[in-house]
Amino acid sequence: MNNKYFDKIPKIEFKGAQSEDPLSFKFYDASKIVLGKSMEENLRIASCYWHSFSWPGGDPFGGPTFQRPWMQKGDAIEMAKLKLENAFDFFEKLGQPYFCFHDADIAPEGSNFAETEAIQKTIVDAIQKKIEDGNTKLLWGTANLFSHRRYMGGAATNPDPDVFKYAAAQVKMCMDNTKQLGGQNYVLWGGREGYETILNTNMKQELDQLGRFMQMAVEHKYKIGFQGPLLIEPKPHEPSKHQYDFDAAAVYAFLQKNNLEKDIKLNLEVNHATLALHSFEHEIAYAFANNIFGSLDINRGDPLIGWDTDQFPNSVQELLMPFYYIYKNGGLGSGGLNFDAKIRRQSIDPEDLFYAHIGAMDICAKTLLATEKMINDGVYDQFIKERYGKWPTTDAIAANQSLEAIHAEVIDKDINPQPKSGRQEFLENLVNRYLD
């Protein structure tokens, strides 16, 4: 087996919309200026290590379908190094500005925590060298607190304090490593922070544990001087039946209760929003409205399948409103667009991973161009401005008296509101303008 898995793939170049070369970008032109910044700076695209390099193509009915050089039998640390070589070769060929990883994606566990940490250190040092020598940076790091059986009953919310401690040690290690690698954010996804049955669950106890855990993560961030925000990634269920970080609103309530809303923002994911029966733009608009927007995991679900299928995005129409909210509000900041997405298990060739990323980057680029038009036209902004135009400033609302006073005013002035059209269809028709 050739250890250079992507050997035959050339460097991917921008060749324009007419290009028939499937290994070229049609719309993603990294240096093109859109909304005052280069496409690359606007989109801040990241590959994810777990789906693209660690997941072997299994599903609940069948084993691995991918046969990649680093998935062969052999010394696990050597295989981790081989995976790293290939991953960075992939990033380089794709011109990928960022990547994201969990500790468990990059290296195997040792026989105890100290040994695991030493193995992580070896690989993290190797990643650091790759980052210094290349063009791909770390968007965020995270700890896998859900795969190992020790976490089957939760990590921070586990009934066993030793599991809580193990998870805390793991997060400390991962935050330190993320800082070492210049990571721009640190993510916490609570896959097992929830429960399967309330019959065995003390919810108050679990929520208190989770609150304390997150406070310690924030304390550690300040202790080590980590610059980026900490992000919680909401998801309603899967793997747990009920997850405490159900959606943006549930996480916001949790953050406020634990005085964390200044320090922890959100990493929102398309397929998680839809599993919570929200549109993605709803979650994004909610985050901006409450000043907790952090970053995005950009993927898509399948409307006919009820689980997190984590597919690569392929529709401008689906991304247009989400992008509109983001760029209207100043863009991604230190966040980015992480492709938390995997190719299907029949896509077994090296090219398949490139096709998936190229297509998705083109879709993001195309959506960004459409968003620019939509923002510059300003039709929606204008409509909303007029729709709410009768409201005085918020100060005036606050100064504006009591129920009793308003009651008197309604009678005095004979206030009798007349309904006005919300113009939904008119506004929906306008979207077409931006889709070519």
Annotated catalytic, 102?
A: yes
Of 176, 283, 340, 362, which one interacts with Ni ion (CB under 5 A)? Answer: 340
Cα–Cα distance measured from residue 76 to residue 71, given in angstroms and rounded to the nearest whole number: 9
CA angle 63, 115, 69 (to 5 degrees): 35
What's the closest the beta carbon of residue 176 comes to ligand XLS, in angstroms? Answer: 18
Annotated catalytic, 51?
A: no
Q: Does 245 bind Ni ion (CB under 5 A)?
A: no
Backbone Cα Rg of the chain? 24
Q: Catalytic one among 102, 220, 272, 357?
A: 102
Q: Catalytic one among 103, 105, 176, 297?
A: 105
Nearer to ligand XLS, 186 or 286 (CB): 186
DSSP code, position 311: B
User: Which stretches of the chain bind ligand XLS, using CB under 6 A?
Assistant: 102, 142, 187, 189, 233, 235, 269, 297, 308, 340
Nearer to Ni ion, 83 or 272 (CB): 272
Cα–Cα distance measured from residue 122 to residue 254, given in angstroms and rounded to the nearest whole number: 36
Which strand (E) or helix (H) includes residue 1? none
Contacts of 200 (CB under 8 A, 6+ apart): none
What's the closest the beta carbon of residue 194 comes to ligand XLS, in angstroms? Answer: 13
Cα–Cα distance measured from residue 327 to residue 325, given in angstroms and rounded to the nearest whole number: 6
Cα–Cα distance measured from residue 252 to residue 265, given in angstroms and rounded to the nearest whole number: 9
Contacts of 349 (CB under 8 A, 6+ apart): none
Count Cβ neighbours within 10 Å for each residue of 267-293 and write b for 16 or more, e otherwise: bbbbbbbbbbebebbbbbbbbeebebb
The span of 91-99, 109-117, 293-301, 425-433 binding Ni ion (CB under 5 A) equals 293-301
Nearer to ligand XLS, 247 or 297 (CB): 297
Q: Does 297 bind Ni ion (CB under 5 A)?
A: yes
Cα–Cα distance measured from residue 153 to residue 195, given in angstroms and rounded to the nearest whole number: 8
Nearer to ligand XLS, 270 or 370 (CB): 270
What's the closest the beta carbon of residue 351 comes to ligand XLS, in angstroms? Answer: 24
Of 40, 245, 308, 362, which one interacts with Ni ion (CB under 5 A)? Answer: 308
Q: Does 269 bind Ni ion (CB under 5 A)?
A: yes
Which strand (E) or helix (H) includes residue 242? strand 242-243
- Partner from Ni ion, ligand XLS, none binding residue 142, C-beta < 5-8 Å depending on class: ligand XLS
Nearer to ligand XLS, 29 or 269 (CB): 269
- Partner from ligand XLS, Ni ion, none binding residue 70, C-beta < 5-8 Å depending on class: none
DSSP code, position 101: E
DSSP code, position 118: H
What's the closest the beta carbon of residue 295 comes to ligand XLS, in angstroms? Answer: 10
Return the residue nearest ligand XLS (CB atom).
189
**CA distance from start to end of the chain:** 44
Task: Give phi and psi for 138, each to the nearest 5.
Answer: -95, 120
What's the closest the beta carbon of residue 235 comes to ligand XLS, in angstroms? Answer: 6
Nearer to ligand XLS, 95 or 301 (CB): 301
- Partner from ligand XLS, Ni ion, none binding residue 53, C-beta < 5-8 Å depending on class: none
Judge whether 168 and 216 are in contact, CB under 8 Å: yes
What's the closest the beta carbon of residue 143 comes to ligand XLS, in angstroms? Answer: 8
Contact residues: Ni ion, CB under 5 A: 269, 297, 308, 340
What amino acid positions are annotated as catalytic residues? 102, 105
